[in-house]
Structure 1
Amino acid sequence: MAADAPIPAARRPSAAKVRLLEVADELFYAEGINMVGIDRIIAEAGVTKATFYKQYGSKDTLILEYIVGRDRQIRESLTELERTAPDPAATLRTLVDTIISDTNRLDFRGCPFINAAAEFPDPAHPVRRAIVAHRDWFTSFLESLLERVGHPTPGAAADELYLLRDGAMAGGYAGDPIAATSALTRAAERVLREALG
């Protein structure tokens, strides 16, 4: 390709591919990945089995796309939040508010990444590797915010906040969401006080 040749536009996924992923995303999160069969996804998406196999080839590929898609949504959302918030402390507070809001949704079923990790125990599985990549990115995002806020130990504080986020999401689904999110709010404010003095 010549240096001045235009870069070809990325091909948009077909409507069938998008629909299959939308249906899978909804069902995998609501009911569990291993509980939902391909035939049900195909039926609810309104496509043929041949179309499914042409678009994804296997359920494993669709599962990985589900995890990667959830990761992409969160990265885009947090990047936009960081861009529009007045400062890193406001970004952290808004993030905590978002987690609290999520736990109060009627369709809330906990963290999709923790749920998926429970269904894929092999750490070498591509789904588990994608989950680890997501968690590493999220922790780095928190660490960067805490560093800019001036926290004396931003890495340790990011680990603590992420663990608290995990606990709030698990506790909010399996137990009392008010108690879980109240604990998250208190801990996040303590972490910010450590930075802001």
Structure 2
Amino acid sequence: MSTTTKRPSPARERLIDTATRLFYEEGIHAVGVDRVIAEAGVTRATLYKQFGGKENLVLAYLMNEDEMLRAMFAAAGEAAGTGPDDLLGAVVDGIAADIRDRHTRGCPFINAAAEYPDASGAVRQLIDEHREWFRGTLQAVAEGAGLTDPPDVAASLVLLRDAALVGGYLDGDDRVRPAFERTARSVIEAHRAR
């Protein structure tokens, strides 16, 4: 029995990478499948074989974003050292770096939600699952650090991240990132057990 996992095909990876770049930079509905196909260097048949249509490509794009964020959290946990306070600091630093370096046009999940208003649709369900994971992860980090009211800490940090990603796009990270860091750290300090 083989224990190796099947790697995605190079064509599938190119499609996801191309869709990720174009959907994030220009908007999902603004980018047609013909453009994704052309820039990925694949055929229409390949796109439909891999994804069946644009909505599944959108879902793959968002799943890719979700997986990258989960990997960033895992790496922060490994790099933070042994203390829960170090992990809290790494989370704030990681979000600040994301605002500055990667998600410079807002949150891909918020952007996608604006284009897919049907809350019962597959895209919005995936977004909801991502947000629940993110909120739950922040709550677990807050619990591990012994903060009071971890659900409130998590809700506050989610709200601050949402605002910072949108604000970073509109007002620039130089203005928004320091405000995010200061406010996030004040939320954490306000919930330390005395």
Taking structure 2 as the reference length, the TM-score comes to 0.92
Q: Show the counterpart of 1:40.
A: 35
Secondary structure, in 3 states, of the residue corresponding to 2:8?
A: coil
What pairs up with 1:164-183 in 2 under 5 angstroms?
Answer: 164-183=160-179
Contact 1:81 1:91 in 2 (8 A): yes
The whole-number CA distance in structure 2 between the counterparts of 1:77 and 1:100 is 13
Secondary structure (helix, strand or coil) at the match of 1:105 reads helix
Question: Which residue of 78, 88, 91 maps to 2:73?
Answer: 78
TM-score w.r.t. structure 1 length? 0.90
SS for the counterpart of 1:108 is: coil
Worse-matched range after superposition: 51-60 or 37-46: 51-60
**How far 1:10 moved relative to its partner?**
3.4
Gaps of 5+ in 1: 1-5
User: Is residue 172–residue 180 contact of structure 1 (8 Å, CA) maintained in 2?
Assistant: yes
Number of positions where the alignment pairs a residue of Structure 1 with one of Structure 2: 192
1:98 Cα shift? Answer: 2.3
Percent of paired sites with the same residue: 42
Mapping of 1:124-139 within 5 angstroms?
124-139=120-135
User: Equivalent residue for 1:12?
Assistant: 7
Tell me how far apart the structure 2 counterparts of residues 93 and 115 of structure 1 sit (CA, whole Å): 27
Amino acid at match of 1:195: R
User: Which structure has the bigger radius of gyration?
Assistant: 1
Please list every run of at least 4 consecutive aligned residues from structure 1 whose deviation after the TM superposition is greater than 6 angstroms: none
**Over aligned residue pairs, what C-alpha RMSD do you find?**
1.7
Question: Any stretches of 5+ residues in structure 2 without a counterpart?
Answer: none
Amino acid at match of 1:152: T
Counterpart selection for 2:26 from 20, 31, 36: 31
Which residue identity lines up with residue 154 of structure 2 in the other structure? Answer: A
Separation in 2 of the partners of 1:135 and 1:51? 31
Secondary structure in 2 matching 1:123:
coil
**Cα distance change, pair 107–92 in 1 and its aligned pair in 2 (3 A):** closer
| AA at the equivalent of 1:127 | V
How far off is 1:12 after superposition? 2.0
Matched to 2:36, the amino acid is: I
